Structure 1
C-alpha cells in the first residue's frame, strides 16, 4: 500500500477494511470475535476502542497465518466451531460464511474457494481424481503447472476447535517463506481422513484481498455500485451508479433523484421528492420533503426542513437547523444557526452562531460578525426582518421583529421592533473633480 498506516485501517466507503469484516462477522449469531494483531496493532486497537465485543490477541512475531491462529487457541473452547476470517478482505458476504458454517457441521472442516482468471498471488486448490481437495499450494511454492490452476483458496474456513488445535500445533515452516501456513492443515486433514468440504464464494470480488491501492479502488467502486443498485431497487433515481458514493447509512423516502458525483457520509435521511444536483456532499443530516439541493453544495450535521432550497455553491455547516421553506442561495454559508420558516438568504452571505426568525430576508453580502478574535458571540434576528445588502451585524446583538437594516450598515447595538437602523457616512459630491493622472 506504500503507507505508514496499518493496511486494515485503509478506508473503503469511509470505513476501515477491518470494520467491514467485523460488521459481517457480527451478523452471525452466537459468535465471540477475536482479532489477532501484529505490526501497527496498537493503532488498530485504538481505532476500534469502542467495539467491546472484540477480544484482542497480540502476535509478537509475524510468522505466518498458522502462527497467528495459534495465538488465539488458548482462548477457544475445544467444542467450538472456529470461523477464520481476514481483516484485509472487506467484501466477504454473509451468505458465503453461512454456507461455510453449514458445510462444516457435516464434515467438521469447510473451506471457501473461488475461480480467478488471473490467480496470481493466491494459493491454488489441489484436487484428486475424485475432485476431493487434498492440499493448497501457495503461489511461491507452486510449480509452473500448479500455477495454471484457476481455483484458489479464498482463505476463509470453518473448523472444529479440537482439530484446529491439534493440527496447528503440528505445522512446520519448511517452505520458501519459512512461515507457518494455516493452509497446510488441509494436507493434515487428508492424512487424518477428514473430508474438506469446499464452498464456492458468491462472487470473486468478495474474496479479493486488498494489497494495493489499485485493488482498494476496485473494491470501492464495486461496493458503491452495489449500494447504488440497492437504492435504485427502492425507487431512488441515480443518474449514474458509477459516479455515486455512499459512505455510511442512507434512509430514503419516495421519488428521490440523485445526480452525478454526489457523496453521502455518515447517517443520512432523505424525505420524499428530494433532488440532489451534481457535486454535492451531504454528511450526517436529515433532509425533509420536497427539498432541492442545487449543484456544488455541502450540508453537514444539520437538519433541513420541508420545501427548502439550498445552493448552488451553498455550505450548511454543523449544528444548523433550517425550518420549512427556507432558501439558502449561492455562496451563502450557515454555521451553527437556526433559520425560521420562509426566511431567505439568497446570495453571498455568512450567518454564524445566529437565531433567525420567520419571514426574514438576508441581503447579499450580509455578515454576522460572530468572532472577536477570542470568543464567539450570538446574533438574534427576529421575524419579518429585512437586512439590507452589505451589512455587518456585530455580535452580540439582537435585531427585533419587523425592523429594517439599511444597506451598507454596520450595526453594533440592538435594533428595536419596526424601526429602521442606518449607519452611513454622509455622501458628498464634489463638482468638477479632476481625476488623478499618471506621471
Structure 2
C-alpha cells in the first residue's frame, strides 16, 4: 500500500491559526476518504469531520479505495492540520488468509496497513493529540496501546449482528465464513468498546443492541444520529423532469454493490412488482445508484424494472418518483436513503428493518410494511390516492427539517470529545 496524499501544517486551532487552542489535537481515523459525501458511510464521516474541525485542530488518516477516490478534493482539506491517505491494494483473498492465520476477522485484516500504523504512531509520539476519534470498527486496530488520551469510537452500526444474519441465511462455505466473522467481530467490538470513553451508534436501537450484546455500561454508549443536508435536499430547487415510462414511478436509491441493497431490489423486483403490475400495469421500478452488480443488471427489463446506475443528481429521480421504496430485508442503523426521500417530500414505503432508527410515525410520516404482500398493498394504496401520498410526503419533509439537520444531530459532539459548553461557545465566537 502506498501513501497517495500526505501533508502536515502548523496550526493552533480548528483550522484557523488565529483561534486560541481550547484543547489538544484530534486524530480522525476512517476507512474511506470522507469526501465527497456521496454514500452512507462517507456522508456521516464527512459531516462529523467538518464538525470536529470547528473546535479543534484535526489530523486525518484514512484509506482510498482507488486512484479516483484519492484524487477527489474537498474544502475540508484546507482546514486539516495533517492528512495521510493510503491506497487500499490488499486483495480479499490475502486478507482472508491473514484472518485465518492471525485469528482476526476479515474486516480487520482487510484494513491492516503497517504504513498507516507507523504514520499514526509517529503522530501520537510527536504531536499534541488529546483525542482519537475512530469512524468504523475496523479502524480501531490503529489505536495505540500506549495512548492515554480520550478515545471516541463511532461504530455507527453493530456490524457483528449483520454478519451473524448472513451466516444464518447462507450456504456453506459462506455461512461458515460469515458466522466466524460475526463471532470475531463481536469480540473485537467488545474489546474496542471497553477501551473507548464513548461508543457511538446511529440510533437508539443500535446503541441498545450493542449494550445488550456487550454488557458494557450504558454510560459509555450513546446514539448520535445521522442528519441530512437540508440545503441540498430541497425539492423546490430541483427541476421537475418526467423520468421512467408513462405510468407510476417507484424509485430505490443506494450503492448497488452493497449486499443488503442487492437483496432488497432483487426481492422487490421478483416478488413485489408482479403484485403491483396487476393493478397498475404501466408501473416502472427504477434502481438508481452506483456500481450495479451483474445480479442487479440481470433485473433490468423484468417486471417493470429499470436499472439506471449512477446519475449526476439523485434528486431528479427522487423528485420524479411517485413513491420511494426501501424494502431492505437486512438493515442496520439509519437509512440515509429514507431521510433523503422524506426531505424531498416523497411518500416512502419501507420494510421494518429499514425504518428502524428513524423517529417517524407509520401512517403519518412514512409507511412501514411487515411483509412483501403489505409492501405491494401500501404502494398500490398510495398510487390510487395521490392526495394521501402528497400529504404523507409533506409531513415527512417537515419532520426531517425539524429534527434531522446535521447541526441538530451533532450538537453533543464537542462535549463527547471533552470540550465543555463554555469552551465550545468560546470557539464558535
State the TM-score bracket (shorter-chain normalisation). Answer: under 0.3
TM-score (normalizing by structure 2): 0.27
Structure number having the greater strand percentage: 1
- The structure whose Rg is larger is 1
Structure number having the greater helix percentage: 2
Greater relative contact order: 1 or 2 (C-alpha under 8 angstroms, separation 6 or more)?
2
